[in-house]
Chains A and B, each alone.
Chain A
Amino acid sequence: MRKIPRRTVLGWGLGVAAGRALGQAAKVEPVFKPEKDASLRLLRWSGFVKSDEELWNANTKKFTEATGVPVSVEYITWEDVRPKAALAANLGTGPDIIMGWYDDPHIYPQKLVDVSDVAEGLGKQLGGWYDVARTYGYSNRMRHWIAVPVGGTVECLTYRTSWTKEAGFDEFPRSPADLLKLARALKAKGHPVGFALGHAVGDGNNWTHWVLWTFGGKAVEKDSKTIAIAQKPSLEAIAYVQELYAQMVPGVGSWLDPNNNRAFLAGEISLTNNGISIYYAAKKDFPQIAEDINHSPFPIGPVGRATELANFSQAFIFKHSRFPNAAKEYIRFMLSPDQAGPWVDAMNGYVTPALKQYQDLPVWTKDPKATPFRDGIARMQHNGYAGEPGQQAAAALAEFIVLDMFADATVNGMSAKDAAARAENRLRRIYRG
């Protein structure tokens, strides 16, 4: 592991102490001294809730007041960040900092600034990083951190408590087998379940990866070369999904990300996987449904540990930036408690931070229905498991290989073996030499 200079660690402590002692308005001595006349451009995803951007902008203003470094923040739809980031990487120009998704930094690690000092400093200060956060932020190829993990839009199973009880389940199932029983009972009562099997970038990818992994399946082995998708665990997962599919509302084959939210709020389905957004939409417009909603982590199957996938975001700095120190200081500042605390609180649980200390924030317990989202990062596996994050894993996810394997075996009526063989064929191509 790389050593952090003693002065940096000292700086962290001093900065934090000074910040506490002098209050917010005081000028905090930066840990990373911004370059003269520095200015920054940040590209990030637009907020899933309005309060996200409000707080982010307010914190950015605080940063400018404290350091004199102006920052222009550009917000774009979360799915558009990847192509824009890739463009910046390829052209060697554009924003200084990007808040991207999943494997983004591992696609062009050689073009990114080493941020080990920021990541290790924050980790020390704030209870450490979740394991999966380290996997996403640390490059084994470069042997240093290439990105600072921000957090994930965790998903949980969202269900109607009254219907679950009606179906004979006082407790929410903890195993896939019981989940299937519940789904059957719910369907029998006229309340089918619904999980996206269309090209839904978030919802569809998340639940299909969970089910593949929880049965012990994986796309690729640890060597990031040997394709493992067509093995027995996959076939078991497919057989399971085929049974679950029979309990679903018709049309899930065409579902994109917003479909399950609408169907759930309209009372067409009793159970789905989603971020906390359904709950908040219900609180706003359908209070009696909100009352009836609860959340649960995904059940744990034969593999014996949590295997969830969630959209995961991290901040990285391009080497083409003329102000890498200012950029480091900005990321450190924004993820420090005085800024990140209120920011995460204001987002009402939409984003779960990657630093463990933030699980103590009031947002996670103020409303007990938000609590399952608190530990989502701890329950996550990284995209591309069991291989390394990188271009191949990113491609497999972007092409919906795992999702389409399940869709082929349900919506398209293929046999489990044929669907797995098709996925294997494509993965071989993606992971070729």
Chain B
Amino acid sequence: MRGLSLDRGPLLPTLLLVPSAVLLGGLLAFPLVLGVLLGFKDATIGEAGNFIGLDNYRYLLTDPVLRITALNTALYTLVTVVFKLALGLALALILNQRFAGYRFWRSVLLLPYVVPTVLSAFAWWWILDPQFSFISWGLIRLGILDQHVNFLGSAWLARASLMVANVWRGIPFFTVGYLAGLQSIPKELHEAAAIDGASGWRTFWEITWLLLLPLTTILTIFSAIFTFTDFQLIWTITRGGPANATHLFVTLAYQRAIPGGALGEGAAIAGFTLPFLALLAWAALDALRRQA
């Protein structure tokens, strides 16, 4: 078989790469390019539409709803990721201890993440209901409030309520990641610190946190990507209301493109997310490369 020199030269690696290239190209790159192109057309659900250059983008930059949406998306992502990280890490530190039933609590912790989002969104919808929220009910019973909390009926409270729901759902992602990270820290380091008489805080900041830092980067970036593109929570609980106060890019894109039929404009709204997502993806890849 020496005549066939597949194992020499660049031919074999190229051939082996073809299937994945075709898969990635067909399933990811092709629809992405189509989507971007659609953003430059005035296509609607009934008509293929014409090429209109940057018209969709030009209009959207003047659209007050898009401005609110951009602000919402930025706030939603920044605020929730910070909370998810802090709370997720705290929970991981607690669950990393050996106490009675720790295995049970570790699996309980995964629940928010395992329950389908639509279901947990429905649960939150009830929790935040203007008439039947058990939180309002409890606070009234305790004499702290004399009327129901209007969780979703005013712009800022609705934004905050959705963030709480998102944080609740996203904590386990950090906790599980951090639990794995914590278990890979060599015991000797903590033992050595204990022998040297370092305080708990100092051990945490100078050993645990430092060693978790690369992991933190990755977890944060991925969490940011998921949060940035969160659809189900918003759509189930507020549909972007009241009066478009809680739209994210993805929900607004959906509302205008699918029920509204403005495919081109919807694609352009989704187009606004691309630079941010590309930046995050680049950061994720860069972080992974540095660890390799």
Question: Which residues in A have some Cβ–Cβ distance to B below 8 Å?
Answer: 79, 82-83, 86, 89-90, 107-108, 111, 197-199, 249-256, 259, 262-263, 266, 268, 391, 394-395, 398-400, 404, 407-408, 411-412, 422, 425-426, 429-430
* Cβ B260 vs Cβ A259 within 8 A: no
CB-contacts of B152-175 with A (<8 A): 152-155, 158
**27 intermolecular pairs with C-beta atoms under 8 Å apart:** A82-B258, A83-B258, A83-B259, A86-B261, A89-B45, A197-B241, A197-B243, A198-B153, A199-B241, A199-B242, A251-B152, A253-B152, A255-B130, A256-B239, A259-B129, A263-B131, A266-B132, A395-B44, A398-B261, A399-B255, A399-B259, A400-B241, A404-B241, A407-B241, A412-B243, A425-B63, A425-B64
Q: Which residues of A contact B64 (CB under 8 A)?
A: 422, 425
* Cβ B260 vs Cβ A254 within 8 A: no
Tell whether B121 is near chain A: CB-to-CB under 8 Å.
Answer: no
CB-contacts of B241-285 with A (<8 A): 241-245, 255-256, 258-262
* Cβ B44 vs Cβ A391 within 8 A: yes
Give min CB distance, B40 to chain A, whole Å: 16
Closest to A422 in B: B64
* CB within 8 Å for A411 and B242 given contacts A254-B150, A254-B153, A262-B132: yes
Q: Which residues of A contact B217 (CB under 8 A)?
A: none
Q: Which residues of B contact A251 (CB under 8 A)?
A: 129-131, 148, 150-153
Given A407-B242, A429-B59, 14 additional A-B pairs, CB 8 A: A83-B258, A83-B259, A86-B261, A198-B152, A198-B241, A253-B243, A254-B150, A259-B130, A262-B131, A266-B132, A391-B47, A407-B241, A422-B64, A426-B65
Contact partner of A411 (CB less than 8 A), chosen from B46, B63, B153, is B153
Contact partner of B158 (CB less than 8 A), chosen from A86, A90, A254, A255, is A254
Tell whether B80 is near chain A: CB-to-CB under 8 Å.
Answer: no
Q: Which residues of A contact B259 (CB under 8 A)?
A: 79, 82-83, 398-399
* CB within 8 Å for A108 and B46 given contacts A262-B132, A395-B262: yes
* CB within 8 Å for A253 and B45 given contacts A86-B261, A408-B243, A429-B59: no
* Cβ A268 vs Cβ B131 within 8 A: yes
* Cβ A412 vs Cβ B242 within 8 A: yes
Closest to B151 in A: A254
Q: Which residues of B contact A430 (CB under 8 A)?
A: 262
Give min CB distance, B260 to chain A, whole Å: 4
* CB within 8 Å for A411 and B154 given contacts A86-B45, A253-B241: yes
Give min CB distance, B263 to chain A, whole Å: 9
* Cβ A198 vs Cβ B65 within 8 A: no
CB-contacts of B117-145 with A (<8 A): 128-132
Closest to A107 in B: B46
Give min CB distance, A33 to chain B, whole Å: 31
Docked Cα-Cα span, A44 to B140, in Å, equals 44
Question: Which residues in B have some Cβ–Cβ distance to A below 8 Å?
Answer: 44-47, 59, 63-65, 128-132, 147-148, 150-155, 158, 238-245, 255-256, 258-262
* Cβ A391 vs Cβ B242 within 8 A: no
* Cβ B154 vs Cβ A108 within 8 A: no
* Cβ B243 vs Cβ A404 within 8 A: yes
Docked Cα-Cα span, A426 to B260, in Å, equals 12
Q: Which residues of B contact A391 (CB under 8 A)?
A: 44-47, 261
Give min CB distance, B250 to chain A, whole Å: 15
Q: Which residues of B contact A250 (CB under 8 A)?
A: 130, 147-148, 150, 153
Which of A79, A253, A254, A430 counts the most B-chain CB atoms under 10 A from its CB? A254
Docked Cα-Cα span, A89 to B152, in Å, equals 37
* CB within 8 Å for A89 and B46 given contacts A198-B242, A407-B243, A411-B243: yes
Docked Cα-Cα span, A82 to B239, in Å, equals 17
Docked Cα-Cα span, A425 to B244, in Å, equals 15
Docked Cα-Cα span, A253 to B245, in Å, equals 11
Closest to A433 in B: B42
* Cβ B239 vs Cβ A198 within 8 A: yes
> What are the nearest 5 A-B pairs in CB distance?
A251-B130, A254-B152, A253-B153, A199-B239, A398-B259
Docked Cα-Cα span, A165 to B44, in Å, equals 51
Closest to B136 in A: A251
Docked Cα-Cα span, A203 to B45, in Å, equals 25
